[in-house]
Structure 1
Amino acid sequence: MSNCMKYKDYYGTVEYSDEDECFHGKVLGINGLVTFEGNSVQELKASFQEMVEEYLADCEARHITPEKNYKGSFNIRITPELHKKAALCAANEGLSLNALVEKAISFYTGKYFAK
């Protein structure tokens, strides 16, 4: 994942602001908003790790779960043409449309996450 960093099973985005001439990001998949920044890659990494540690300590002190809970369901919007193609592919494979989408997402995310 080239636009993300990882620390202790937490991921953070990596962006650059030309206007501010600094790197910045936010921690993903958590209950809250935690941001970090740095003027170099090394500063960005250090800031990310420091903010994750502070967030985890705060969650422990407040007795809350740090990770966001995912329901396992979400709505997507695609073109009618792609919807039709997906429905036909699912029928051809003997799958529901949900099963086809799950299979596709599993395949795509397998590129980034080892099992």
Structure 2
Amino acid sequence: MKNILDIDGCKAVISLDPDIGLFRGEFLGLSGGADFYAKDLEGLMEEGRASLKVYLEDCAARGLEPYKAYSGRFNLRLDPTLHAAAANAAAAENKSLNEWIADTIRAAADAA
């Protein structure tokens, strides 16, 4: 079961807040926080759209960039055995390690 909703092109992770008995959505990739609550999927979609709209309007009014900026670079630390296994898997597909990791991450992200 996926716990990510796409609301107007923005991804939101969904969880259950057992203290209040509601589902909670939190948008991903925003430069600030925007969350929303509802008791069901229909409500989550409605509240999510409203929350996102308010967030984007607030950013526009303040002249702020609403989305996080990503450089496309990150450091990855692996156990040496896993590093070797990944390098071998990349070589077996005639890819650089970077290319193989990027393809693997892309496939996992697309499945989410």
Instruction: State the TM-score, normalized to the length of structure 2.
Output: 0.84
Partner AA of 2:88 in structure 1: L
State the match for 2:29 in structure 1: 29
Counting aligned pairs with the same residue, the percent is 30
- Per the alignment, residue 79 of structure 2 pairs with 79
Q: Whole-Å Cα distance in 2 between the matches of residues 107 and 5 of structure 1? A: 18
Cα distance change on mapping 1:52 and 1:81 into 2, 3 Å: same
1:101 pairs with 2:101: yes
CA distance in 2, matches of 1:37, 1:85: 43
> Quick one: structure 1 residues 24 and 75, their matched pair in 2 at CA, closer, same or farther if it must change by over 3 Å?
same
Q: Distance in 1 between matches of 2:43 and 2:107?
A: 34
State the match for 1:15 in structure 2. 15
Name the CA distance, whole Å, in 1 between partners of 2:40 and 2:89: 47
Once residues 22 and 110 of structure 1 are traced to their aligned partners in structure 2, the CA distance between those partners, rounded to angstroms, is 27
Stretches of structure 2 that go unaligned for 5 or more consecutive residues are none
Instruction: Name the count of aligned residue pairs.
Output: 112
Secondary structure in structure 1 of the residue aligned to 2:58:
helix
Aligned residue for 1:51, secondary structure, equals helix
Q: Distance in 2 between matches of 1:24 and 1:110?
A: 23
CA RMSD of aligned residues (A): 2.0
Which ranges in structure 1 are unaligned for 5 or more consecutive residues?
none
Give the structure 2 partner of residue 51 of structure 1: 51
CA distance in 2, matches of 1:38, 1:107: 31
The CA distance in 2 between the partners of 1:57 and 1:74, in whole Å, is 31
Distance 2:32 2:62 in 1: 13
TM superposition shift of 1:32: 0.6
- 1:104 and 1:92 map into 2 onto residues whose CA distance is 14
* Counterpart residue identity of residue 44, structure 1: L
